[in-house]
Amino acid sequence: MSETLNRQLAVGDRVLHKQFPPISRHKLALYCGASGDHNPIHVDLDFAKAAGYPDVFAHGMFVMACLGQALTDAVPPPRLRTFATRFVAITQLGASLTCEGHVTELVEHNGERCAKLALTTRDENGDVKLAGEAVIAI
Amino acid sequence: MVDHSVVGRSLAPVTAHVEPGRLRFFRETLGERNPAYTDAGAAKAAGYAAIPVPPTYLFCLEMMDAEQAFEFLDVLGADLAQVLHGEQRFTYRAPVMVGDTLRFEPRIASITDKKGGAMTLAVVETRVTNQHGVHVADCSRTVVVLNKVAA
């Protein structure tokens, strides 16, 4: 798991890469309950259509949770200092996500040696859905 | 258009409990299999006193236990059909684990109109402390309000 981090990290190193199965309606319904985010736009087709969308779409935070999982698969959780994302585009139903991250900078963060990671989540067409950053202790 | 005078306003604080059953439901929904999050022994080996929460779960805890999860919409004068999540940021300061009781204190940090008023970005910053008074995390959520532009 933390094999990557047991050697010296260098700028440009790819630290994480994880693929997720296509997002189903069932998954969004489960996430609605599991997350406490009951916004109907993610599960109720009638509501989504009335709001002007062709269909329901994934919660941004569901996609960020996938990216977070890819991150903590590669980086032991206690090393995580910050985790941030921009929701670049709506993630459509059925999307198959790929989460990636690489080292952009080695920095001092609150007196601690850290690496800054650039993170992305793309769908099966290569379109960026989330663009983010994490700071991890090394 | 969103009223800029709400900047600095505090929203209702939320007290949330990190319950093992709800956390398991979240993990299973996400297919989380990392032993650090599923196995008490592995969590201890990683330096935690109990099973910790995955990195985005703080956002969920605040919504699950809020009396009004969408209070910020009332303050912004917007409805669910016209908002999107623009950005989300977490700063982790101390572990959050099963059994903890957290206090979330959200406030409206900034409001910025964009694209000639077609959209407004509202930032809600939330300080999170635990049952020992330890400042465990800060969360920052940027809400995009798609304004109803008069024809």
pLDDT digits (tens, 9 = 90+) for B18-69: 999 999 999 999 999 999 999 999 999 999 999 999 999 999 999 999 998 8
**Three-class SS of residue B7?**
coil
**Three-class SS of residue B95?**
coil
Given this model, what pLDDT does residue B2 score? 85
**Three-class SS of residue B17?**
strand
What are the Cα distances from residue B18, in Å, to A94, B62, B65? Answer: 31, 10, 10
Distance (Å) from the alpha carbon of B128 to chain A's nearest alpha carbon: 14
Mean pLDDT (chain B, rounded)? 94
What gap in Å lies between CA B24 and CA B8, rounded to an integer? 36
Q: Which helix (DSSP H) or strand (DSSP E) does residue B32 occupy?
A: none
State pTM to two decimals. Answer: 0.95
CB contact under 8 A, B46 and A41: no
Task: Collect the ranges in chain A with pLDDT lower than 50.
Answer: 1
What are the Cα distances from residue A100, in Å, to A75, A113, A117, A129? Answer: 13, 22, 10, 12
% of chain B surpassing 70 pLDDT:
98
Given this model, what pLDDT does residue A8 score? 83
Given this model, what pLDDT does residue B1 score? 76
How many A/B residue pairs have CB atoms within 8 Å? 116
Output the CA torsion sign for B53, B55, B59, B60: negative
Going by C-alpha positions, the residue among A121, A123, A119, A109 that lies closest to residue A84 is A119
Given this model, what pLDDT does residue B149 score? 67
Closest residue to A34, CB basis, from B26, B48, B70 = B26
The A-side interface with B (CB below 8 A) comprises 1, 20, 27, 30-31, 33-41, 47, 50-52, 59-61, 64-66, 68-69, 71-73, 76-78, 80-87, 90
Tokens 């900078």 appear where? A105
Q: Tell me which chain A residue has its CA closest to the CA of residue B35.
A: A73
Closest residue to B63, CB basis, from A36, A66, A81 = A36
Sheet strands (E) in B50-118: 83-92, 101-114
Given this model, what pLDDT does residue A1 score? 45
Structure tokens at A53: 């969308």
CB contact under 8 A, A82 and B91: yes
- pLDDT over 50 at B118, yes or no: yes
Q: What is the DSSP letter of A77?
A: G
